[in-house]
Amino acid sequence: MLKPILLVEDDKRDLELTLVALERSQLANEVIVVRDGAQALDYLLREGDFRERQEGNPAVVLLDLKLPKVNGLEVLQRVRATSHLRSIPVVMLTSSQEESDVVRSYELGVNAYVVKPVEFRQFVTAIADLGVFWAVVNEPPPGSQKASRRYE
Amino acid sequence: MNAPLPDLALCASEPIRVPGAIQPHGRMAVLGPDGALVAWSANWAGADAARRAAGLVGARLAALDGEGPAALGRVDVDGAPLDVLGHRSGALVLLEFEPAVDEAGTQAPIYSLARHFLPLLQRAGSVAELADLAAREIKRLTGFGRTLVYRFDEEGHGEVLAECIDPGYDSYQGHRFPGADVPAQARELYRLNHIRLIPDASYRPVPLLGVEAGWEPASLDLSHAHLRSVSPVHLEYMRNMRTLASMSVSIVVGDRLWGLISCHDHAPRQLPFQTRAACEHLGRLLSLQIGAKEDNAEVAQRLELRRLTLQLVAQLADSDATLQQLAGEPGLLLHMARAGGAAVVLNDDCWTAGETPEREQIAALAHWIAGKGVETWACDRLVQEFPPAAAFRERACGVLAVSISQVHRHLVLWFRPELVRTIRWAGDPRKEATVGDGRIHPRRSFASWQQQLRGRSLPWSPAELAAAGELRHALIGIVLRRAEELAEVATELGRVNKELEAFSYTVSHDLRAPMRHIAGYVDLVQDMEGKQLSERSMRYLSHVKEAAAYAGHLVDALLDFSRMGRSALKRKRVDTHVLVEELVAELARQEPARAIEWQVAGDLPVLWGDPFLLQVALRNLLGNAAKYTRTRSRALVRVRAVRGPEGEGIEVEDNGVGFQQKYVGKLFGVFQRLHQTEDFEGTGIGLASVRRIVERHGGTVWARGEPDQGAVFGFSLPAGKGDAKPREQGED
């Protein structure tokens, strides 16, 4: 069973484009979509709406930096501070090139910091690279399983 | 100015308080604590005569109190009426007997004084007028041939303010008498004992004799005695002046001997006791009036100075409150201190008004004064204190300075010119004494002569010093307020900067996103519906995509540019050779189809700078060279080192399209482009970034070009501490 990819994205257009990119990258992992930092933490900690979800951590968290309620940096901080979540790969996926954001993300232990390219094809490539890299590193995909469940 | 005068020291040793003798126009009897005779003057018939006369005074002795002599009435000694004065000196009682003289008139002089003189005195408007009135009145009361009123300056020189003379007497109006004429000791006696009469300068002193054998005449202090015998030096002085009788009435203001009413006569002149009492009283009235007038003048001056100070401060506070504005109000500034020139010194800067020394001279002076570490400093003989001032003493013999800051050399200075004033001395104070026989002979020549007072200015009055101090306080207040305002501005600036940062963050994040969305969705449409769209629709879509992509790049470039101004420089030693090699490789990868000949010199410098920013700058320069040689069949780019006195740097030369040199100024501006966008892509920010990076490092950028002949772009950075250590030897 492939571990899912947790995608945290509040902008619906970015969300759609990211899903298309993940789709095109032919990843078999299920993609769990949440729309803000609070939901992301609920998912990871199996609280709130995700109280009932199965145990287990996602293969990778693709985390938007600028999020309503709890922002990406806060989510990252919480993940790194929680013992059973600490090892989850977290990739900041963001529009921001602010140096302070990059510095802060790395200080908090982000695994990668990716500025979303303006060019769609580059964007697709970047997402695909990410997904493949983290999914492969964590667990080689035994088969193809296209799925995306969305909680909105 | 004056050489030290010898007679001061010598006269100081004259026993003027204890001469052991009296003048012959009266007699003296000295009683001990028990009322017994202790000493008598040799002009009594004998001790018994003195004892009898003293006995006649009897119970009136009880009336003696205070320091000065008091009138003890009249006694009849052997048929001659004598006026008696008495005073206590320690345990002793000194009695002075003088032949009684009845006034010719009916009115007692003291009564006429109160009735006639006092109202005039009260109406007088100035010190000079007071002096004039006093001279006339004393003349009227005493009949002396010449009466003078003179004032001592701070050095003891006397200046004649008023005189009243009979025909045949020399006029001394406006003359000055050297301070040496009245030695310090005598001056002190004038302060204590307010009247002294010498009826005949040719007198022979009458010695004092003791009742007991071995009594020492010099043990008797005659400071307050009217009959006290005066210094032979003084008598000689009088005779030289053709003065046989003299009288001095002290003018004591506060506790200070302010001046004298001095009377002279060519003939001996005796004055009855009542007249002397009236003169002494006149002196006291005059002293009070002068004191009041001077106080009023002082208060008026202080008020005026305060008004000027406030006016100055108000004008300064209205302006942008920088201290150099003071010099912009030369009239007020100069008027305030009655100065000929003024300067405001703020560290190495200097603003002047009026007549001042040269800037370098002011700077040196300010340095010297600042070194004293005092708030206010004044001097009216600058050359004596600060010898370099000799070079500018015509303009500044007097200096008043206030220091505005303890930390910085911030001073306001006022200058007064040399007071080359012409003074008529009554005699030459420098041709003072001729010491031949061990005694002092006062000068014999009294022809007026003129002395030019050099090397000094009008002195700074206490009121002026106080006003300068007050101005100093006000200025410090203004400076402090200014500093507070600046701090507020800085806080505000910090806030604005934060807002700007937030703005650029928003731009970076929120403006990029829609660009990306436009480009992304266009891509999706092209992918999915491309086959069903007309060729024209496809072309339109590609324009939309290009525009979005361009807008995205523009945002990125702008952000990069703004970041260059904000982030702190992290300087290191940067080996530009390595940097250039890497960039060349990167550029080659980006456009593999192009064949560019890169000629990179082997001696590119190690620079002291921020490695990331230097990379951005070099990438822009190399990228430009690659870009603008695109039309060349054989593109050649040379990268070489530049070494000059201002530092080291790099020049990049290409054989590309070049530019017109007259546009060189525009090249480095933001969004300045010299070529059509269709011909050469780019946002027009690259060279602006290069300039900003180089200038943040304190370096310079330059460019040379000619249309179609290629271009040279270069920069150099100042040598940093990284250069102190050359590249490691032997490791390469």
In this prediction, residue B730 has a pLDDT band, given cuts at 50, 70 and 90, of: very low
Cβ contact (<8 Å) for A116 and B515?
no
Min distance B306 CA to chain A CA atoms (Å):
57
End-to-end CA distance of chain B: 77
Cβ contact (<8 Å) for B516 and A116?
yes
- Give the chain A residue whose CA is nearest to the CA of B548: A118
B553 touches chain A (CB under 8 A): yes
How do residues B303-312 score in pLDDT, each as one tens digit? 888 888 888 8
How do residues B57-95 score in pLDDT, each as one tens digit? 887 888 787 767 888 888 888 888 898 999 998 889 999
Min distance A99 CA to chain B CA atoms (Å):
9
Q: Residue B333 pLDDT more than 60?
A: yes
Looking at residue B288, what is its pLDDT? Answer: 92
In this prediction, residue B630 has a pLDDT band, given cuts at 50, 70 and 90, of: confident
Residue B225's SS3 state is coil
In CATH, the number for domain B567-717 is 3.30.565.10
Number of neighbours of residue B568 by Cβ within 10 angstroms: 7
Share of chain B above pLDDT 90, in %: 28
B21-99: CATH class: alpha beta
User: CATH second-level architecture of B319-460?
Assistant: 2-Layer Sandwich (3.30)
How far apart CA B171 and CA B179 sit, in angstroms, is 19
What mean pLDDT do residues B442-456 have? 54
Q: Residue B226 pLDDT more than 60?
A: yes
Min distance A117 CA to chain B CA atoms (Å):
7
Measuring CA to CA, which residue among A2, A32, A11 is closest to residue A93? A11
A114 touches chain B (CB under 8 A): no
Looking at residue B218, what is its pLDDT? Answer: 87
CB B74 within 8 A of CB B83: yes
- Of residues B205 and A96, more confidently modeled: B205
What mean pLDDT do residues B221-240 have? 87
Q: Is B567-717 in the same CATH topology as B319-460?
A: no
Looking at residue B279, what is its pLDDT? Answer: 92
Looking at residue B427, what is its pLDDT? Answer: 60
Looking at residue B414, what is its pLDDT? Answer: 93
Min distance A100 CA to chain B CA atoms (Å):
10
The whole-model pTM stands at 0.54
How do residues B520-568 score in pLDDT, each as one tens digit? 899 889 888 888 999 999 999 988 988 888 888 888 777 777 767 666 7
Q: Give me the domains of chain A, ranges plus CATH numbers.
A: 5-136 (3.40.50.2300)
A109 touches chain B (CB under 8 A): no
What mean pLDDT do residues B184-212 have? 90
Share of chain B above pLDDT 70, in %: 87
Q: Return the minimum-mean-pLDDT range out of B38-42, B290-294, B444-448, B616-620.
A: B444-448
Distance between alpha carbon A152 and the CA centroid of its chain, in Å? 16
What mean pLDDT do residues B397-401 have? 92
Residue ranges in chain A modelled with pLDDT below 50: 139-152
| Residues pairing with B346 in the sheet | B349, B410
Number of neighbours of residue A56 by Cβ within 10 angstroms: 10
What's the whole-number average pLDDT of chain B?
A: 83
What does the domain layout of chain B look like in residue ranges?
Answer: 21-99, 319-460, 567-717
What mean pLDDT do residues B156-176 have? 86
Cβ contact (<8 Å) for B519 and A118?
yes
CB-based contacts of A54: which residues, under 8 Å, 6+ apart?
Answer: none
Looking at residue A127, what is its pLDDT? Answer: 82
Q: Residue B436 pLDDT more than 90?
A: no
How far apart CA B302 and CA B469 sit, in angstroms, is 12
Q: Residue B602 pLDDT more than 70?
A: yes
Looking at residue B570, what is its pLDDT? Answer: 84
Q: Residue B413 pLDDT more than 50?
A: yes
In this prediction, residue B154 has a pLDDT band, given cuts at 50, 70 and 90, of: confident
How far apart CA A115 and CA B537 sit, in angstroms, is 31
Pairing mode, if any, of strands B80-89 and B92-99? antiparallel
